[in-house]
Amino acid sequence: MKPLEGSTISILGLGASGVAAARLALIKGGKVYVSDSQVEPSAAAGATELRSMGARVELGRHDLERVAGADTVVVSPGIPPDAPVLKALKAAGRGWVSEPEFAFRFLNGPLIAVTGTNGKTTTAAMTAHLLQESGAEVGLGGNIGAEFGPPASGLALMDPTPDWFVVEVSSFQLAGIVDFKPTIGVVTSLAPDHLDRYPSVAAYYRDKGRLFENADPGSQWVLNGDSTAVEELAGDAQGIRYRFSLWETGDVAPPSETHAFLMDGDLILRLPGEDAEVLLPAGDLPTLGLHNVGNALAAALTTGLTGQGASSIGAGLRTFRPLPHRLEVVAEADGITWVNDSKATNVAATSGALNSLAGPLVLLLGGKDKGEDLSPLREAMHGGVRRVVVFGEARHRIAAGLEGHVELTLVDGTFELAVDLARACSEEGDILLLSPACSSFDMFASYEARGDRFSALARGEA
């Protein structure tokens, strides 16, 4: 008998995660109803596939009676908590789960779950790469994006089962967990974000903190030892804690509770009961920026906890290739280096990029306003930032927040105009950096589309 034989599953949302959850539910024997309030070509394509597999699919509406009557309701991360369908479910006394929670019920192997405000995609991808380079079979997916791996429900269908699952999880997904429990949980960073969806920073942090909800004494946690917010997020959760840190105080090692760190220019791994070992010099990492050193330390420590050795981890770090839209060098022309950091969709990410690059810099900043506090950006405006070109919906608030701290150009026009003006401001030896600190949805469908357009303009493509 299949695990879901006779069970009814209702799935809200026909995005990638909704389609993946529906596919999993159908293969496991469930009776599946899928609905989406939108009618779009992408949703229609998913609907056609799922109908062919036996699902009932509706576009443009949710049948609330059918949804509320299902044994399990799975909600896609793109549906906000104040959506009418969720309000109606709550009023009816019905709960729901996220897609990773649903997938977790069918994952038959050890799980590494990576979350954090910034760095989680790079850390998850790097961890998977290090495990693979060490000879392990790995399933990488979750919130990581279709170009890097499937939603968690896709991983649950892998045959044979891999040695390790590595899943990136967002706050939106963690909000809907019940039994989700990683073997190793990783928190890369924590800073205000998504305040266009959450009523407060505390509410955002609470959802992130649900990673620890089902901790037990055998749980292992890899935490950013430089962040008091991450430490507070873990609270009194059960399990064993391991920390990584950008320590860097010459040849003096950090406290014993720090297990991966930067010292005298080298990345060091020091697992409990073992001698400290050099992984590689920081300058040999193929990724750009100091914050990516932190991501590498997190990935190395996580991989070390699976039993892999330092020599294998160090070799894997050398062969990892930077992910697109994350401090990605996309062109060099006329002495100007063009860097695409379109994934920097919040203030903390852009501040991290600025703190990682010495300059001289011309910075493209702007997009859809998330309502974040801009003071960290002001603090990150070091002397190497020669000019900031501000564009998009958030331009006036950002310009007002940075006035007097840096030379500004305010663009009332297209993204292409903003890039042209940034190019005109740049000189030989400059880095022309797109690190917007905002989401892309005022001008583009995604941060990827924004980064791709920037990269095309950098290469002189129309």
Q: Which of 28, 62, 120, 259 is catalytic?
A: 120
- Tell whether domain 8-95 is in CATH 1.10.10.10: no
Domain at 328-458, CATH class = alpha beta
Show the beta-strand stretches assigned E in 317-369.
328-333, 336-340, 361-366
**31 has catalytic annotation:** no
The helix, strand and coil proportions of the chain, stated in percent and rounded to the nearest 5, come to: 35, 20, 45
**2 has catalytic annotation:** no
Collapsed DSSP state (helix, strand, coil) of residue 20 = helix
Residues 6+ apart with CB under 8 A from 99: 17, 18, 20, 21, 74, 75, 76, 77, 151, 152, 153, 173
Q: Are 342 and 455 in contact (CB under 8 A)?
A: no
Q: Which of 28, 31, 62, 194 is catalytic?
A: 194
**Domains in the chain: boundaries:** 8-95, 102-319, 328-458
Range list of H helices, 157-266: 171-174, 201-209, 228-234
In degrees rounded to 5, what are phi and psi of residue 457? -65, -35
Q: Which of 28, 118, 143, 346 is catalytic?
A: 143
Common-topology check for domains 102-319 and 328-458: no
pLDDT per position as a tens digit, 407-431? 999 999 999 999 999 999 999 999 9
Torsion of CA 58, 60, 62, 66, to 10 degrees: -30
Torsion of CA 351, 356, 358, 362, to 10 degrees: -50
What is the C-alpha separation between 207 and 227, in angstroms, rounded? 18
**325 has catalytic annotation:** no
Fold designation for 102-319:
UDP-N-acetylmuramoyl-L-alanine:D-glutamate ligase (3.40.1190)
The string of DSSP codes covering 250-289 is TT----TTEEEEEETTEEEE--TTS--EEEEEGGG-SS-S
DSSP state of 227: -
Collapsed DSSP state (helix, strand, coil) of residue 111 = strand
The string of DSSP codes covering 374-392 is -HHHHHH--TTEEEEEEES
pLDDT truncated to tens, each residue of the chain (462 aa)? 689 999 999 999 999 999 999 999 999 999 999 999 988 777 788 899 999 999 999 999 999 999 999 999 999 998 998 999 999 999 999 999 999 999 999 999 999 999 999 999 999 999 999 999 999 999 999 999 888 999 999 999 999 999 999 999 999 999 999 999 999 999 999 999 999 899 999 999 999 999 999 999 999 999 999 999 999 999 999 999 999 999 876 667 788 899 999 999 999 999 999 999 999 999 999 999 999 999 999 999 999 999 999 999 999 999 999 899 999 999 999 999 999 999 999 999 999 999 989 879 999 999 999 989 999 999 999 889 999 999 999 999 999 999 999 999 999 999 999 999 999 999 999 999 999 999 999 999 999 999 999 999 999 997
Q: Are 261 and 244 in contact (CB under 8 A)?
A: yes
Q: Are 342 and 450 in contact (CB under 8 A)?
A: yes
Q: Are 363 and 398 in contact (CB under 8 A)?
A: no
Give the number of other Cβ atoms within 10 Å of residue 108's Cβ: 10
β partners of residue 61: 36
Angstrom CA distances, 200 to 176, 197, 233, 455, 458, stand at 18, 9, 15, 34, 37
